[in-house]
Structure 1
Amino acid sequence: MKQICFILVALGLLSMTSCRDDFETEPSFGSLEFSRDTVYLDTVFTDIGSSTYSFKVYNRSSQDISIPNVQLNQGESSNFRLNVDGVAGKSISNINVLAKDSIFVFVEVTADIQDLSQNELSFLYSDQINFDSGVNLQQVELVTLVQDAIFLFPERFEDGSSETLTLGIDEEGEAIQIDGFILDAEHLTFTKEKPYVIYGFAGVPSGETLTIEAGARIHFHTNSGIIAANNASVQAIGGLSSDPELLENEIIFEGDRLEPEYSNIPGQWASIWLTEGSTNHNFEHVTIKNSTVGILMDSNDGSAQPTLTIKNTQIYNSANVGLLARTGFIDAENLVINNSGQASLNLSLGGRYNFRHSTFANYWQNSFRQFPSVLIENNLQSGETLFISDLIEANFSNCIIYGNESIELLFNRVEDAAFNYNFKNCLVRFRDFNNQFSENELYDFDNTSLFENILLNESPQFLDAQNNQLIIGEESAANNLGGQSTANQVPFDILGVDRTQNPDVGAYQSIQFEEQ
């Protein structure tokens, strides 16, 4: 009973002290301290709100004080927004701060570049937060870069609905629809002049080609992407860049949040979806990052040429799969995939595949991972239905398959369909501690008709795999492991380095790491 009384007394005291707004204060006297004297809100697209940024205001004195006014210097015309100690507005009066205590100030911005500048693609926009005035005036600077963009989105209708794309018919005969729109002729070429921001799925018209030029930047909102079907094609041909930081000639697909804390967050957008009936896709010098599925390749066009050719391309931070192919026909070289919530490469439901000098890694740490870096299947379970298709070929030459799990290569075969694969001159992570696969003929690494010159479980010595830096060092086990004939087919690595002499496996020739 005494304990209950004590709790009630404590709660009573807390209620009297925690929400005081009637304490006696002295006016602010210009001696506030701030955790930041300048708040940089990073880059935002025009008319898209920023993340919320914050800083603290300290009263170091032994007196309770009242700040007469906290306001944006540009007043109501400012594009910044404030929340001061729980009160929102652009001008807030009589903010009390206890002695030896502090308050939080939160800041956001939404700006239209057309209101700021008529001639610039980006504009540095700033304002100040004024604390008090006159001789007691103190200021915190606010700075953001507003960038112009081309916005592409579904049409919005008067009844509140929006434009959709029909993907087919479900088992009940109902149309399968997603939020999306068909690109018009004006937007069938993406240039590097302005970034593109896409809401929903941008559909390539039937029989048309979406051309993406070197240096283009394509940003996607949540659950957005690109979709191609019905003889549509995507040609994303970038170029080798001279600046490894700017990647000035690289084509980059990523989310629409530009703040640094979003730079490596998986699942910010959906996928580049190359559906059944699409054809003749080419990706070269491309970076795809932070999607749910980097590229989803459905079926092939039935021609003698690959439906998807992919070269010198990186796919990172996919919430599910980096490259998911279902009965696809893919030819790839200098392809790098890393950090996927499931598999980095999933060849599902058969197909035809050739990978040369590619690096498939998975160092995912965001959650528990049940899948290997590379998963190869000739079947797909959907509900109670098992779909089966021939794996005509899956050839890996001069490749690295590695990650932070013991086994990074798995096969899922059913006997009713072909299952053909071949690995030559590859470094593979396959440490079967429990002898789970010791009697499985699929993993007979001594069978030279399936595995030729395979090195198991030796370190590739990646520079920084967790941060997607998969270049290898001079002590890498991948050094000089490459077959010469494959190196002659792909004479330069992903960075343009000649590999025809003493080729290393994977997408990179080795370098000497600088001592840390």
Structure 2
Amino acid sequence: MPRISLLVLAGILLSFCSCRSDFETTASTGDLTFSKDTVYLDTVFTNLSSSTYALKVYNHSKNDINIPQIKFAKGLNSKYRMSIDGAQGNQGKTFENVTLLAKDSLYIFIETTVESDNTTPAEFLYTDQIEFDSGANLQKVELVTLVQDAVLLYPKRNADGTTETLPIGDEKISGFYLDKNDPLHGNELHFTNKKAYVIYGYAAVPEGETVIFDAGSRVYFHANSGLIVSKNSSINVNGTKSATDKLENEVIFSSDRQQPDFAYIPGQWGTIWLQNGSTNNEIQNLTLKNATVGLLIDGNNGTTTSIKNTQIYNCTHYGIQAKNAMIEGENIVINYTGQASLACTYGGNYKFTHSTFNNNWSSPGQSAVYISNYSAGSIPETKDLTEATFNNCIIYGSYSNELILDKKTESLFNYQFNNCLLKFNNTNNKYTSDPLYQFDSDSLHYNEIILNKDPKFFNPNINNFNIDDTSSAFAKGNSAYLIPLDILGITRTLPPDLGAYQSKPFPK
């Protein structure tokens, strides 16, 4: 009996479904409603496809309706493309007789690829409209896209049809050498602020050359892309102070995904790799974000890499990963990295002054500062850590211990922290007898340390590390290590505050 009932039920359902296929619709009366009146597609680069944006269309009536036509106002010439509930229509531009059931909705997915000469010159805007129906029942949804003109740099095709690659040890990666005499772009080793640059693959600086970034230049990296500074070559990042929050004079390295949803997503591109043997590297007023490793500094050529007034945020592994390098840093801010904001490994020589190393990564395995004198492996090899000095710095974050000192006895391990605020909780007295962490009694390595006091940053979740006069870092610096201007170019008072920022009242 149950089996017969199931057969009867199946028959009823089949009968219902077959009847539903020939339902009648009424013509649209122009009473559609939309999830948005205007769809703003975020900034795109000329000739590159945007992300996909969604528009929802509602039929609130009790009738199944037929929309005679859905199309772009510019028709087949539109630079936009759309799909409607998965259907592509005529070239993704026009759709005929679209059915929308009573009390139902449909999705329209929109994207665009625009050339700069299709835009309004004054604002670089490309606009169009999606039109629903026609005549008296016409309804419209506006489309607006900001288009940024850009220089595209990418691996070229070889004569045999393969894509250009770069040798990295025994491996090859998708990449190319920047050409100072490129027939299309001119000097690719000189990045100006006239247009944005978008890089696909790894762009490498040829041996003996210098890549220069002018103040205000913008470089956007695609996935699995980055910059390699080769042996005996150099990088000069020449940003300057900006007058507004737009960082108009800052040099910015970021992902080519410009939508707000991607603003804080780590690992969208590779790294800036200063290879072993690169020389005379100078970085000033740089903002770098959303990489895998921000700056990978691999060895040195007997010269010091200078890093000043630089911000590095949202990196999957490290903000700065140095391997037996020589670095002098001033007014550096790093936050939100999966392993360490600053990693000085395999020995080297380092000096950081008035810098803020924070790490608000959500997992407990991270740290703000990691220092070692060896290279991890099956048989670790050591190198002398001749100096690791931190003056007037803040080392803080969301984890209990934000400083890790990892020493092998085979080589030198020289470190010193002067007038620094450190977060280091000696939970269960685990480090009470550890000679590396004697903050109160070891004057050779620690002087005037503020331990586990909240610096009261304005908002570390959005990478704002300003402090005010209620901070534990306020006026706790040593004037002997003074850098006269902070990261924003504001004059420091005496005694100076710790970290990269001169204190000021928070905005209300």
Shared fold per TM-score greater than 0.5: yes
Query: Conserved in 1, the CA contact under 8 Å of 2:34 and 2:55?
Result: yes
Task: Name the structure 1 match of 2:224.
Answer: 223
Task: Name the structure 2 match of 1:441.
Answer: 435
Counterpart CA distance in 2 for 1:360 and 1:11 is: 69
5 Å matches for 1:488-507?
Answer: 490-507=483-500
Bigger mean CA offset, 477-486 vs 368-377: 368-377
Task: Name the structure 2 match of 1:424.
Answer: 418
In structure 2, the CA distance between the partners of 1:421 and 1:7, relative to structure 1 (3 Å rule), is: farther
Amino acid at match of 1:379: Y
In structure 2, the CA distance between the partners of 1:346 and 1:21, relative to structure 1 (3 Å rule), is: farther
Query: Conserved in 2, the CA contact under 8 Å of 1:342 and 1:369?
Result: no
Matched, 1:340 2:337: yes
In structure 2, the CA distance between the partners of 1:352 and 1:5, relative to structure 1 (3 Å rule), is: farther
TM-score normalized by the length of structure 2: 0.94
Q: Deviations over 1:101-120 (max 9, x none)?
A: 11111110011224557xx4
Matched, 1:189 2:184: no
Task: Name the structure 1 match of 2:47.
Answer: 47
Amino acid at match of 2:316: A
Task: Name the structure 1 match of 2:247.
Answer: 247
Query: Conserved in 1, the CA contact under 8 Å of 2:359 and 2:366?
Result: no
Cα deviation, residue 411, structure 1 = 0.9
Counterpart CA distance in 2 for 1:10 and 1:209 is: 75
Counterpart CA distance in 1 for 2:4 and 2:424 is: 60
Counterpart CA distance in 2 for 1:49 and 1:428 is: 46
Amino acid at match of 1:253: F
5 Å matches for 1:268-417?
Answer: 268-303=268-303, 306=304, 308-365=305-362, 368-382=363-377, 384-417=378-411
5 Å matches for 1:130-169?
Answer: 130-157=131-158, 159-168=160-169
In structure 2, the CA distance between the partners of 1:60 and 1:436, relative to structure 1 (3 Å rule), is: same
- Does the residue aligned with 1:373 lie in a helix, a strand or coil? strand
Counterpart CA distance in 2 for 1:121 and 1:287 is: 27
Query: Conserved in 1, the CA contact under 8 Å of 2:118 and 2:126?
Result: no
Bigger mean CA offset, 83-92 vs 38-47: 83-92
Cα deviation, residue 123, structure 1 = 2.0
Cα deviation, residue 22, structure 1 = 3.5
Bigger mean CA offset, 6-15 vs 135-144: 6-15
Q: What is the CA RMSD across the aligned residues, in angstroms?
A: 2.3
In structure 2, the CA distance between the partners of 1:377 and 1:58, relative to structure 1 (3 Å rule), is: same
Cα deviation, residue 12, structure 1 = 8.6
- Does the residue aligned with 2:279 lie in a helix, a strand or coil? coil
Cα deviation, residue 87, structure 1 = 1.1
Counterpart CA distance in 1 for 2:206 and 2:232 is: 9
Counterpart CA distance in 1 for 2:96 and 2:172 is: 51
Counterpart CA distance in 1 for 2:306 and 2:249 is: 19
Task: Name the structure 1 match of 2:111.
Answer: 108
In structure 2, the CA distance between the partners of 1:418 and 1:127, relative to structure 1 (3 Å rule), is: same
Counterpart CA distance in 2 for 1:130 and 1:362 is: 49
Bigger mean CA offset, 121-130 vs 294-303: 121-130
Counterpart CA distance in 1 for 2:243 and 2:298 is: 34
In structure 2, the CA distance between the partners of 1:403 and 1:6, relative to structure 1 (3 Å rule), is: farther
Amino acid at match of 1:499: R
Query: Conserved in 1, the CA contact under 8 Å of 2:320 and 2:343?
Result: yes
Query: Conserved in 2, the CA contact under 8 Å of 1:61 and 1:100?
Result: yes
Counterpart CA distance in 2 for 1:14 and 1:63 is: 23
Matched, 1:60 2:60: yes
Query: Conserved in 1, the CA contact under 8 Å of 2:337 and 2:366?
Result: no
Cα deviation, residue 299, structure 1 = 0.4
Counterpart CA distance in 2 for 1:14 and 1:369 is: 56
In structure 2, the CA distance between the partners of 1:203 and 1:100, relative to structure 1 (3 Å rule), is: same
Q: Deviations over 1:76-114 (max 9, x none)?
A: 111101111221221111211121111111110011224
In structure 2, the CA distance between the partners of 1:476 and 1:13, relative to structure 1 (3 Å rule), is: farther
Task: Name the structure 1 match of 2:128.
Answer: 127
Query: Conserved in 2, the CA contact under 8 Å of 1:27 and 1:65?
Result: yes
Amino acid at match of 2:500: A
Task: Name the structure 2 match of 1:78.
Answer: 78
Bigger mean CA offset, 322-331 vs 27-36: 27-36
In structure 2, the CA distance between the partners of 1:14 and 1:393, relative to structure 1 (3 Å rule), is: farther
Counterpart CA distance in 2 for 1:19 and 1:258 is: 49
Identity %: 48
Cα deviation, residue 161, structure 1 = 2.1
Query: Conserved in 1, the CA contact under 8 Å of 2:119 and 2:147?
Result: no
- Does the residue aligned with 1:261 lie in a helix, a strand or coil? helix
In structure 2, the CA distance between the partners of 1:167 and 1:8, relative to structure 1 (3 Å rule), is: farther
Counterpart CA distance in 1 for 2:434 and 2:11 is: 66
Query: Conserved in 2, the CA contact under 8 Å of 1:83 and 1:107?
Result: yes
Cα deviation, residue 20, structure 1 = 5.9
In structure 2, the CA distance between the partners of 1:495 and 1:178, relative to structure 1 (3 Å rule), is: same
Aligned with residue 484 of structure 1, among 479, 487, 501: 479
Counterpart CA distance in 2 for 1:235 and 1:19 is: 73
Cα deviation, residue 369, structure 1 = 4.2
Counterpart CA distance in 2 for 1:396 and 1:321 is: 18
Task: Name the structure 1 match of 2:183.
Answer: none
Counterpart CA distance in 2 for 1:124 and 1:12 is: 56
Query: Conserved in 2, the CA contact under 8 Å of 1:492 and 1:500?
Result: no
Residue ranges of structure 2 left out of the alignment (5+ in a row): 181-186
Cα deviation, residue 44, structure 1 = 0.5
When you count strand as a share of all residues, which structure comes out higher? 1
Counterpart CA distance in 1 for 2:40 and 2:145 is: 6
Task: Name the structure 2 match of 1:24.
Answer: 24
Matched, 1:35 2:30: no
In structure 2, the CA distance between the partners of 1:336 and 1:62, relative to structure 1 (3 Å rule), is: same
- Does the residue aligned with 2:176 lie in a helix, a strand or coil? strand
Cα deviation, residue 268, structure 1 = 1.0
Amino acid at match of 1:506: G
Query: Conserved in 2, the CA contact under 8 Å of 1:341 and 1:369?
Result: no
Query: Conserved in 1, the CA contact under 8 Å of 2:72 and 2:78?
Result: yes
In structure 2, the CA distance between the partners of 1:468 and 1:62, relative to structure 1 (3 Å rule), is: same
Bigger mean CA offset, 10-19 vs 317-326: 10-19
In structure 2, the CA distance between the partners of 1:29 and 1:260, relative to structure 1 (3 Å rule), is: same
Task: Name the structure 1 match of 2:93.
Answer: 90
In structure 2, the CA distance between the partners of 1:19 and 1:302, relative to structure 1 (3 Å rule), is: farther
- Does the residue aligned with 1:476 lie in a helix, a strand or coil? coil
- Does the residue aligned with 1:466 lie in a helix, a strand or coil? helix
Counterpart CA distance in 2 for 1:403 and 1:9 is: 63
Query: Conserved in 1, the CA contact under 8 Å of 2:366 and 2:399?
Result: no
Counterpart CA distance in 1 for 2:18 and 2:293 is: 48
Query: Conserved in 2, the CA contact under 8 Å of 1:474 and 1:511?
Result: yes
Counterpart CA distance in 2 for 1:107 and 1:361 is: 39
